[in-house]
Amino acid sequence: MQSSLIRRRPIVAGLLGFLYPGLGHVYLRAWIRAIAWFGLAMITATLVIPDSAITAFQQNGIDGLVAASRDLPMNVVLSLFVVRILNVIDAYLTGLRQERATEQRAGTEAGTCPNCGGELDEDIDFCPWCTTELSEFGTEPELDEEDASGGFSFR
């Protein structure tokens, strides 16, 4: 049940990022990225939105802003859209990275291979299913003090 919830996180983060840049990162608790994307969206909007749209909003509220947004030049719309799409991609990829890190931590703690997910045998230092060396993932087997001279005894 938890794995299906974890797999939804990148998608939800991407959708929230499309609503407003930085919101998907807040959902993922990537605070610095969220602030950076929010700041980039605000700076972009400040630089490209013409003063006429701001004046229309101040005089007529949301109705004035909607009317002014219909007359925005293509470069304004495109720049705002590019920031939004790049934010969605970054939120999705950040969610995927967090998901993989969570799965990898769970794999090494639960006695499963971090590469293929197969059950590990404590007597050998590689995965019997995919032959991946476990030392690649930082799961080096420990030796007993009395067997340090050459015999292997795993804990």
Query: For the chain, what are the domain ranges?
Result: 2-110, 116-155
Quick count: other Cβ atoms within 10 Å of Cβ 5?
9
Higher pLDDT, 108 or 85: 85
Token representation of residue 31: 């605070």
| Residue that has been written with the tokens 């994307």 in this structure | 37
pTM comes to 0.63
39-75, pLDDT tens digit by residue? 999 999 999 999 988 898 899 999 988 888 888 999 9
Q: What is the pLDDT of residue 127?
A: 83
Averaged pLDDT for residues 125-134: 82
Q: What is the pLDDT of residue 155?
A: 47
Residue 102 has pLDDT above 90, yes or no: no
Q: What is the pLDDT of residue 1?
A: 42
Mean pLDDT lowest among 2-11, 29-38, 80-89, 113-122: 2-11
CA pair distance 106, 137, nearest whole angstrom: 13
Which one, of 2, 28, 3, lies nearest residue 13 by Cα? Answer: 28
Residue 101 to residues 6, 94, 106, 112, Cα–Cα distance (Å): 11, 11, 9, 14
